[in-house]
Every structure is written in C-alpha cells, then in structure tokens.
Chain A
Amino acid sequence: MLQLLEIRERVKRFYQRYDLYLLPIIKFVFALTAFSTINKQIGYDVRLNRLPIVLGISLLSAFTPSAIMVLLATAVSILHVYFISPILSIIVIAILMILYLLFARYTPKQGYVLLAVPILFILKIPYVIPILLGVVSTPISIVSTGCGVIIYFLFQIIKTAVTMQSNVSIDDIIQLYTHVIDSLKGNRQMIMTIVIFAMIIMVTYFVRKLSIDYAFEISILAGALTGILGFLISYLVLSRSDQILSMIFGFIVSTVLVYIIHFFRLTLDYSGVEHAQFEDDVYYYYVKAIPKVTVTVPQVNVKRFNVKSGGRREFSDPDMEDTDAGVDEYEYEDDTES
C-alpha cells in the first residue's frame, strides 16, 4: 500500500508540473479512440476514415471543450450513415433530436457520457460509466446514461438496417423505417440495460452516501454486484447465456478501472494547477497557483469554511453591501429588486 501511495504522490507531482500539456494529450487519446471506434463500426464513408482526417478532428477536440468532441462525433456518425442511406440518417437525426430536446439538455455537463457509453459498449466495458457516475455524480446522471444506451442500440440497429436497403421507392423507405422503429421499440435488452444501469447508479450513490468506513470502496463493489446480478437475470430471461462470461469479465475490468480512477481522483481533482491572469493599477499578473496541500487537507479546509461562514447573515449580505467599484456592477440589480 505504501508503494501505491508513493506512486500516487509521484503521479500527482508529475501532473502538477505538466498539466498544461497533459490534459490535451489525454483528451487527444480519448478522441482518437472514440473516432477510430466510430470509423471501425460504421465507417461507410471512406473519406472520413482517412488517417489525416481522424488525426485532425482528434487534435481539434484535444484543444476545445468536451462538448465540441461530442458534437464532432455525432456529426461524423451522421455523415457515415448519410453516405450509405440518407433516409436512415434522417431517422437518426430525428431520434437524437428527441433525446437531446427532452432529456440530454438538462444535464449539460454530462454530454461526454452520451459519447462514452456507446464507445465503451463496443470496447465491452460500458459498466465503467454507471459505477463511476454513482461514485462521482448524483442520480440525475441516470438521464444521460440512459440516453447513451439508447444511442448505442440505435446504431446497432442502423448497422443491420443498412444491409437491407435496396432502392429508394416509397415502400422501401417505409419498410426500412418500420424496421428501425420496431427493433428500437421492442428491444427488451435495451430497456433492461437502461434499468440495470439506473439501478447501478442508485446503489453506488446511496452506499457512497452512507456514513461507514470505506464507503467509496464498498459502493463500487456494491454497484458492480448489482450490475452483475441484474445482467445475469436479464441474460437468462432473454436466453442470451453466451454473453454472460464476457459480461462478468467486463464487470471485473470495469470495477478495477473505477478503483484506479477513484484512487487518483481526489488527488488530481484538488491538485490541478490554476493559471490566472488579472491586473491592478500598477501591474499585470500572470499567476500560477499550485495547491500545496495533500489529499486530506482540502477536506479539512472545507469543514472550517462552513463553520466560519456564519450561516444566514452572510447569504443575505451581498444585497446590502456598501457601494464599491468592484461590487457595484453586480449589486445594482439587487438593490432595485428589494
């Protein structure tokens, strides 16, 4: 254990020193994996499969916010489908629009989940997402996970639908469309997957919230066990027992991955170096702020802060503050409100 902590400390220090370069590299690797998986699965349009293009869009997503990567991945997938069948691409766009308008727009910070779930499904370890979200997020992430699952199954259906398209008469279009909707609507495996993922998130979340020792570790295990049991039952019901072995293996890999992420998470979360720029009357400042605390200390800080802040008086205070050059612009409206 001591050695592990030492490694963690070393990783932390490395991350602190090079985070400016490390973050884009990590994002680049993620983007490259995502785009090449998409290309491998539904790479109908050869032009988008070329290495320079894949590298180019991965590079672009490395330096832009994660929402851009999700958007690019959606665009690439739709273009691939459009290349082989415009009708199918319209169906895909319509369903994605519905998912976004009715569900995904309420969890704007979890857009990456929509991309990660299908990609990890193809890599056989989608279970990372619900367990991880149970550990780091709230049950509201069920929404985005569910959308991700639907997107994965939608593209699986598109893959089979592509083969049955022959020509473009109205009858064929309707037949194609009915096939897609039928297989989406009657997809019991998809519905069960959504339910089980939701259960994993709930179980992990609530066990993590319990005030017991090792709540995090136990919650990860509890989530994984819930998932294994759920999928065992669902596979037996759907008589797909051939997938059980790969499912259990996937769960083991996922659990280990989540453990590793959890092991480094607190450290990396709090030790991110901040680069700030500001000025006063005399100087321009370019500050690199490096937290000097280790894992446990920030938590103590948070506690002390709550005690000191003195509760309600402070919260109502900003409305009545005296005039001040810096504060003025935020307070003006408050004054008129009261």
Chain B
Amino acid sequence: MLNFKKIRLMTKLAVYEKKDGKEDIHLSKYYKTDYVRFQVLKSIITASIGYALIIALIAFYKIEYLIKNAVTLDYKLIGTYILAFYLITITIYGAGALVLYSMKYDGSRKKLSRYFKLLKRLKKVYNESTHES
C-alpha cells in the first residue's frame, strides 16, 4: 500500500536534490578549508591569466614605442611595476575569494541541515513501516 506521508517527504527531498541540493551536496563532500583553499587557488590562477592577458594587450598597444626604445628602456622599473600590480591584483582576488566562498560554504551547510532533518524524519517513517509489517 502507498504510504503518503513517506511519499510527501521523499518528494520534498527529491525536489531539493534536483535544485539547490545538487550544489550543496557537492560542497558537503569537501572540508571547508579544502573547499575554500581550492577556490582561492582557482581565483588566483584565473586572475593571473587575466592579468597576463591585460599586460599582453597593453604591450601590444605600446609596441611601436617599445620597439623604438628597446635599448634605452628601464626594464627593471617596468618589471617592478608589473610585479607590484600583479601582487596587488592577486591579493585582492585571493582575499575576495576567501570571503565569498567561505560565505557560500556556510550558507550551503545551513540549507543542508534542513535536508538532514527531513532525512531523519524519513528514517523514522521507514522504521515505523517496517515494524508494522
């Protein structure tokens, strides 16, 4: 016979698993530190690639000047500038990612706790139905 209480619970769980739950459950497979560290690393790498692209665009933009003064350029100064801005960029992106993804992880834990509560209730229903039979 159909147990409607059980079906109702399972439907709720299934809907959650299909929508927000997908990401939350995926996140729950990581420790917080691991997840945040991984995301920070990813942000720093993408920011580095973006930064390199910008530098390349600027270099190409100034290419005539660069070629004309190739001998007299102060490469040390240019290198210092590029490095300094690079450090600023990755610090901002790293710190931003740290905050953003920590918040995201905590938020998903909160939603998950609701999910676990429903699972617990489902377990209870299961136990009751096996006792009856």
Contacts and interface: CB of A to CB of B under 8 A. Distances in A.
Given A94-B57, A101-B50, A337-B31, A324 B120 contact: yes
Nearest to B28: A330
A321 B120 CA distance: 9
A174 interface: yes
A326 interface: yes
Main secondary structure of the interface of A (DSSP, over half): helix
Given A315-B113, A324-B123, A277 B14 contact: yes
Contacts of B31: 333, 337
Contacts, number: 91
B57 A181 contact: yes
Contacts of B54: 98
Contact of B53 (A101, A280, A285, A318): A101
A289 interface: yes
Contact of A318 (B61, B93, B116): B116
Main secondary structure of the interface of B (DSSP, over half): helix
Interface in B11-68: 11, 13-15, 18, 25, 28-29, 31, 46-47, 49-51, 53-54, 56-57, 60-61, 63-64
B110 interface: yes
B11 A177 contact: no
B2 A330 contact: no
Contact of B50 (A97, A283, A324): A97
Interface size class for chain A? 35 or more
Contacts of B116: 317-318, 321, 327, 330
Contacts of A326: 119, 122-123
A174 B66 CA distance: 13
Contacts of B13: 278
Contacts of A285: 7, 10-11
Nearest to B89: A102
Interface string A292-332: 00000000000000000100001101100100111100100
